Chain A
Amino acid sequence: MKFAVLVNEGPYTHQASDSAFHFTKAAIEQGHRVIRVFFYHDGVNNGTRLTTPPQDDRHIANRWGELAQEHDLDLVVCVAAAQRRGVVDEDEQKRNSKDANNIADGFRISGLGQLIEAGIQADRLVTFGD
């Protein structure tokens, strides 16, 4: 079965990103395909590589990135939500004349159409947020 996952909450806030991660992992382990994880609203903050949690804590951004690399997951950050919150990739850096970018490995920035497309193409869209 094809799943799409929507994450509307930032890391280390409540639990949405953790729940979404464990759900995604469990779905993959059962042989399902997760066609996209879309990060919207404060969820875009999951996609910055500059987070440095304590060593004995989980690294939420890296954990998503590693899962993406292992299973060829499409991690998409909403561009408008990202611009508002300062989550920037190289293209956005150039386009908006910023002095740096911070997108984490495995994530890409794209538009809301990617959420709609995932909702249409997947058999189930599961939302995690606050």
Chain B
Amino acid sequence: MLHVVNKSPFEKNCLESCARLSQAGSCILLIEDGVYGALADGEACEVVQTCLEDRQVCVLGEDLQARGIEPDRIVSGVEVVDYAGFVKLAVEHPKVQSWL
């Protein structure tokens, strides 16, 4: 399943809930303010690192750029994708769940 998280971990606990409930082999995509979850020195870096053990974690590059976050500031192992990559992830996974 593709999990889409669009809330900052500084604002809401969607990413934490998603990390707790998503299963091994799934993918978590961080978009919009959710990209703050990928910060290596951020609130959620440990959660993201745990997810990376058995899940894919991606972040939308356009939304990183819009927030002035350089890709070298994100947790290592998190993949940067563009909108085309977002679509590809949605194709690869049979269901898409947005954590609104």
Contact B87 A32 (CB under 8 A): yes
How many chain B residues touch the partner (CB < 8 A)? 19
Nearest B residue (CB) for A29: B84
A130 in complex: contacting residue of B62, B86, B91, B100, CB < 8 Å? B100
Q: How many A-B residue pairs have CB under 8 A?
A: 51
A30 to B32, CA, bound (A): 22
A130 to B12, CA, bound (A): 11
Q: Nearest Cβ in chain B — how far from A60, in angstroms?
A: 15
A11 to B80, CA, bound (A): 26
Nearest A residue (CB) for B7: A130
A25 within 8 A of B: yes
Contact B6 A19 (CB under 8 A): yes
Instruction: Tell me what chain B mostly uses at the interface: helix, strand, loop, or mixed.
Output: helix
Contact B91 A14 (CB under 8 A): no
Nearest B residue (CB) for A3: B90
Complex contacts, A14 vs chain B, CB 8 Å: 32-33
Complex contacts, B63 vs chain A, CB 8 Å: 15
Instruction: Say yes or no: A127-B98 contact (C-beta < 8 A), given A19-B32, A22-B62.
Output: yes
A129 within 8 A of B: yes
Contact B96 A124 (CB under 8 A): yes
Q: Nearest Cβ in chain B — how far from A10, in angstroms?
A: 14
Complex contacts, A16 vs chain B, CB 8 Å: 6, 32
A100 within 8 A of B: no
Instruction: Say yes or no: A19-B90 contact (C-beta < 8 A), given A26-B83, A30-B84.
Output: no
Contact B100 A26 (CB under 8 A): no
| Residues 8-59 of A contacting B (Cβ, < 8 Å) | 8, 14-16, 19, 22-23, 25-27, 29-30, 32
Extra contacts besides A19-B32, A26-B84 (9): CB < 8 Å? A14-B32, A23-B87, A26-B83, A26-B86, A30-B84, A30-B87, A32-B91, A124-B91, A129-B98
